[in-house]
Amino acid sequence: MRTIIAALVVILSTLNSFAQQTSMPSDHLLFMDTPIDGELTAYVSKMQNMGFTKISVKNGTALLRGSFATYEDCFLSVSTLKHKAVVSTLSVLFPQHDTWKPLASNYYALKELLSEKYGQPIRSEEQFLTVTQPKDDLSKMYEVQLGKSNFKTRYELENGTIELTICNDQITSSYVKLTYVDKINGVILKHKALKDL
């Protein structure tokens, strides 16, 4: 009888433990239902299992390539905290465009999806930094390429921030970037910085 009771206690404890693990939400910000946390190599392996291809790992940042949110040929940058090999930030770089219409289309489509999932953004700035606003697509793209545009939407969540931006690195490299920053690991980085001061 004691053996049966002991076996039942073990089984119930195991089931309870499993239920807690599967039903408890992560304290970390999620990317593709995966907490932004853990050692870089392990995190890269998880992304590879989701279909991304590893390109390089250098100075605490991994670069991968794959599909994300129905967009083909995206780049995924996975970064760790400085002085601590824990993943804290992810950025998705969507395909480049050299005309305004597809670039803006990507931005607004992603903003709509993010707002549907996370609610209204805490901040959204969508303007050209010129005295007179450009009227046609060619003029708008010209301002983006000169770095005279500010298209940025930010979502504040309990466990981190998500930011959507239109970026331009060079005259011909304009793209939409989506960045996830985990709050817990960001706090760790802040405490490290404060300790150093």
Q: What is the model's pLDDT at position 18?
A: 39
Other CB atoms within 10 Å distance of the CB of residue 49: 9
Least confident of 21-25, 86-90, 131-135: 21-25
Place of tokens 């940058």: 77
Q: Please report which residue ranges of 57-182 form alpha helices under DSSP H.
A: 100-118, 137-145
Identify the pLDDT of residue 169.
84
Per residue in 138-147, pLDDT (tens digit) is 999 999 999 9
The more confident residue out of 37 and 4 is: 37
Q: What is the rounded distance in angstroms from the CA atom of residue 193 to the CA atom of residue 49?
A: 34
Asked whether the predicted pLDDT for residue 4 surpasses 70, the reply is no
CA 161 to chain centre: 9
CA distance 69 to 12: 39
Mean pLDDT of the chain: 85
Query: In the prediction, which pLDDT does 173 show?
Result: 85
Quote the pLDDT of residue 23: 38
The tens digit of pLDDT for each residue in 125-170 reads 999 999 888 999 999 999 999 999 999 999 999 999 999 999 998 7
Question: What is the pLDDT, as a whole number, of residue 121?
Answer: 97
Percent of the chain past pLDDT 90, that is, above it, reads 71
| Residue 19 confidence class, pLDDT cut points 50, 70, 90 | very low
d(CA 188, CA 36): 14
**Dihedrals phi, psi of 59, to nearest 5 degrees:** 50, 45
Look at the chain and count its residues: 197
pLDDT in tens, 95-119: 999 999 999 999 999 999 999 999 9
